[in-house]
Structure 1
Amino acid sequence: MTETPIDTLPGIGPVTQSRLEDAGIRTVGDLRSMGSVEAYRRLKFMLPRQVSLNALYALEAALRGCHWLDLPEDVKTALRQEAKTIDDAFRRGAAARCAI
């Protein structure tokens, strides 16, 4: 499963696949080893205006094999906090991004 292409996960379409590959995430194993939050961080810093909280939900849901709307509320709450931390660091600038 680790070498399985990333687009085999549910909810990962061609656009997301391309963005993930640009971020160096090519396989299910790549995504599993770094987790949804790190993948989101990479995407957010590459494409800050195109990547939203829904991307983080979708990445987490893909790893869990479900639709993002089906994520438990406590998981969504934790992901929102992670996204806020990443977004705040992005707004503070390059020096702050290294401190995450």
Structure 2
Amino acid sequence: MSDALISTLPGVGPVTQAWLEEVGIRTVAELRMLGAVEAYRRLKFMLPRRVSLNALYALEAALRGCHWLHLPADVKSALQREGKAIDEAFRRGAAARCSLG
């Protein structure tokens, strides 16, 4: 399964597949190696307004072989914290780049 395409994972549709490919993630092995959080970070950087926390849930669920609604509450909470940290870092980075110093 390591060379399997991302599209073979449950819950990964053509839009998400295309986004992942744009950030260099083409196989299940690549996604597993990076993990859902890093993949989400890359997607969020590329498409900040289009990628939501649901994408993070979906990526984690796909790696676990389940639907995102079936992720345990503690996993969802951990993902929410990670997603919030990524969102805040992204906003701080954008603000820092735009300040006059």
TM-score normalised per structure 1: 0.93
Asked if 1:47 corresponds to 2:32, the answer is: no
Identify the residue that residue 28 of structure 2 maps to in structure 1.
28
Per-residue deviation, 1:69: 0.2
**Which AA in structure 2 matches 1:88?**
E
Please give the alpha-carbon distance, in whole angstroms, between the structure 1 residues aligned to 2:17 and 2:74: 27
Please give the alpha-carbon distance, in whole angstroms, between the structure 1 residues aligned to 2:93 and 2:36: 22
Please give the alpha-carbon distance, in whole angstroms, between the structure 1 residues aligned to 2:86 and 2:48: 11
Residue pairs, 1:58-97, within 5 angstroms = 58-93=58-93
**Which AA in structure 1 matches 2:21?**
E
TM-score normalised per structure 2: 0.92
Q: Where do 5+ consecutive residues of structure 1 fail to align?
A: none
Please give the alpha-carbon distance, in whole angstroms, between the structure 1 residues aligned to 2:33 and 2:70: 22
- Across the aligned residues of Structure 1 and Structure 2, the Cα RMSD in angstroms comes to 1.2
Equivalenced residues, count: 96
- The answer to which of 87-96 and 60-69 deviates more is 87-96
Q: Where do 5+ consecutive residues of structure 2 fail to align?
A: 97-101
Please give the alpha-carbon distance, in whole angstroms, between the structure 2 residues aligned to 1:19 and 1:35: 15
Identity of aligned residues (%): 75
